[in-house]
């Protein structure tokens, strides 16, 4: 069972924190994740910086800009997370725009998520019908929960 499902079943009150990978400094990503878990965070959303985060507020826009200026990229994020499961046990989710994931290659992206232990993805600009018709099988193949899909269905109940 996915760590997200297990965590949701075990806790009725969760603390989930978002932060932008590569911010404030390029090599802070792993230490931030480790410190968040050590301090009681139940789940972490790792923001994949994007050059044009129009749907985000000014704080995330600024952190994304700085992270990109620092040199953060999708491939670097996966390099940084390569051994994260040796020290972190809580669910990890990558949250980001669809375009950088597509540029990386969706199958390669999902495969890397599985390799480093990412439990789910939040992709706000991936329409649900596109996910279901084009990417659902791929996500399932690599064990990546589509959190946007889960939230969509929860709001319909």
Catalytically active residues are 45, 56
- The answer to whether the beta carbons of residues 113 and 146 sit under 8 Å apart is no
Q: Checking phi first, is residue 22 left (phi over 0); if not, alpha (psi -120 to 50) or beta? A: left
DSSP code at position 91: -
The partner residues of 17 in beta bridges, in order of sequence, read 44
Q: The tokens of 2 are what? A: 């996915």
SS (H, E, C) 46-69: EECCCCCCCCCCHHHHHHHHHHHH
């Amino acid at each position: 069972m996915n760590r997200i499902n297990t965590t949701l079943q075990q806790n009725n009150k969760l603390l989930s924190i978002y932060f932008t990978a590569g911010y404030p400094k390029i090599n802070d990503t792993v230490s931030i994740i480790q410190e968040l878990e050590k301090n009681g965070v139940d789940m972490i959303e790792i923001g994949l910086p994007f050059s044009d985060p129009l749907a985000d507020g000014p704080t995330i826009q600024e952190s994304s800009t700085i992270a990109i200026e620092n040199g953060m990229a999708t491939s670097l994020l996966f390099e940084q997370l390569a051994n994260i499961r040796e020290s972190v046990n809580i669910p990890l989710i990558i949250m980001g725009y669809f375009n950088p994931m597509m540029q990386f290659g969706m199958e390669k992206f999902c495969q890397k998520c599985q390799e480093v232990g990412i439990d789910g993805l939040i992709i706000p600009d991936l329409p649900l019908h596109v996910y279901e018709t084009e990417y659902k099988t791929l996500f399932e193949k690599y064990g990546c929960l589509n959190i946007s899909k889960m939230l969509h269905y929860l709001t319909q109940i």
